Amino acid sequence: MLFKIVMHDEKINRLHEMKKKAELGGGQERIEAQHTKGKLTARERLDLLLDSNSFIEIDKYVVHRSNDSDATKYYGDGVITGFGTVNGRQVFVYAYDFTILGGSLGEMAGRKIVKLMDHAIKVGAPLIGILDSGGARIQEGVMSLDGYGDIFFRNTMASGVIPQITASIGPCAGGAVYSPAMTDFVIMVENIGQMFVTGPEVVKEVLSQEVSFEDLGGARTHSTKSGVAHFVAENEYECMDKIKKLISFIPQNNLEVSPVIETQDDPNRLEPDFSKILPENPYEQYDMKQIIKLLVDKGDFLEVHEHFAENILVGFARIDGKTIGIIANQPMYLAGALDINSSTKAARFIRFCDCFNIPIVTLVDTPGYLPGTDQEHNGIIRHGSKLLYAYCEATVPKVTCIIGKAYGGAYIAMGSKNLRADINYAWPTAEIAVLGPEAAITIVHRKDLKNSKNPIEIKKKLAKEYRQKFANPYIAAEKGIIDLVIDPIETRIMIVKALNVLQNKRESRPVRKHGNINL
């Protein structure tokens, strides 16, 4: 009997030793090196993100299968995978461990991630990936590339089924960058997160261009220029907070709805400050964010792509405790005109909301599409059509409110009745027309203005007449294109009522394998 107990204890002790070794990753020296760089370890990151004692690790004792006999085998093989909860909600998460072979992806690490992704899809829970990796493991050759290929396929299968979130808190290079780009949201940490297809050394060798890691693929570059990063965090702690807040707005999967939160903000609240924000001159700038924050519960607006294509605003908020997606023109930038980047940005966000049953509220104040050879030559027609496609395709409740200008094709593109918006409101200040008054009379009254001795005064008079006859919301209301012209003070109430009546909306589309959006 004593012999059996001793044998039993030996096996338990071996388990604890293996567990301790696995949790040390690449060893204490490499952990200290990670801290010296100002970075947390993979396990420390998971502790920050997940609820206390909720993480269950899977494939903890996996090791690589490399034929290189000199290669040290580490438990976990450079990536930690498992499941846990974030504020009580189930998530699946993987985190590259830079202390093990630079977090490089080999065959077994790839298999671990793929297994986790399959679990997340079957269970119907968000998938979170934390990047800190040197890329494909060179020593394993094609098998490391094979791992990335399998991950890309799972990213595609998970798209529109479960939310996918990526946190870039370290290097990510080569083919590895395409998995984050296929996920729904990318969060990058300043001065730590970096993503690029080819590094500065290759750029210098091939193109003779000197560029730093940050300028080539840092957080600011990808949040302002490329649009790869949806959020930027100052540090790893803020990064995890942003993930938690993002998850609070979105559902577990495409068959559920977002959590309803008791916000203590009266759904019947009147807001007299709305009309104070809008200037009398329709061509003066104002900040649309002020209107959004007055409209939503407690002014809580989680802006997505804040630093990219700033002429349009997208993000999550709540009205009457329920999550909504907001799309709004921003007159502070390019007068709120639509261009290539803003069209792509808004279209992508609309498609996410539609995938995950999040109603869409659109606030309109745009003078049209941005003109110029730069836009035309780079494909404003092609990219602008994405916004039209996204609105047309979306079957979630869609409520639009025209606040100011809504001219030409941009009027149609911004959640018009033609694109199957359900309820379309307008403020009395709305101007709906083919062209703005000044541009329209320049064309219609070209001869009169040319022959006039006082063209400036005549132009003012004609513009005023045009606004009264054509560029006002009542013409559209007469035709049923605008459902109701509302007092700005009642905007919150009217949107709440519209969303409530639409909550059981069902709308079908023709049966097809999938549409062919103009990518």
Enumerate the active-site residues.
174-175, 409-410
Q: Which residues of 428-493 form beta strands (DSSP E)?
A: 431-433, 484-485
Contact between 458 and 452 under an 8 Å Cβ cutoff? The reply is: yes
Q: How many CB atoms lie within 10 A of CB 452?
A: 14
Please tell me whether residue 402 adopts helix, strand or coil conformation: strand
| DSSP secondary structure of 1-57 | -HHHHHHHHHHHHHHHHHHHHHHTTT-HHHHHHHHHTT---HHHHHHHHSPTT--EE
Distance CA 452, CA 84 (A): 75
Taking a C-beta distance cutoff of 8 angstroms, is the pair 332, 285 a contact?
Answer: yes
Residues 6+ apart with CB under 8 A from 469: none
**Residues 328 and 312 sit within 8 Å (Cβ to Cβ):** yes
What are the residues whose beta carbons fall under 8 Å from the beta carbon of 341, sequence distance 6 or more? 227, 308, 309, 383
In order, the DSSP letters of 79-130 are EEEEEEEETTEEEEEEEE-TTTGGG-B-HHHHHHHHHHHHHHHHHT--EEEE
The single-letter code of the amino acid at 122 is K
Task: Residue 366: name the closest of 403, 391, 341, 398 by CA.
Answer: 403
Identity of the residue numbered 502: L
Closest to 219 in 3D by CA, of 211, 231, 209: 231
Alpha-carbon distance values, 436 to 77, 285, 362, 433 (Å) = 62, 16, 21, 7
**Rounded Cα–Cα distance for residues 450 and 436 (Å):** 19
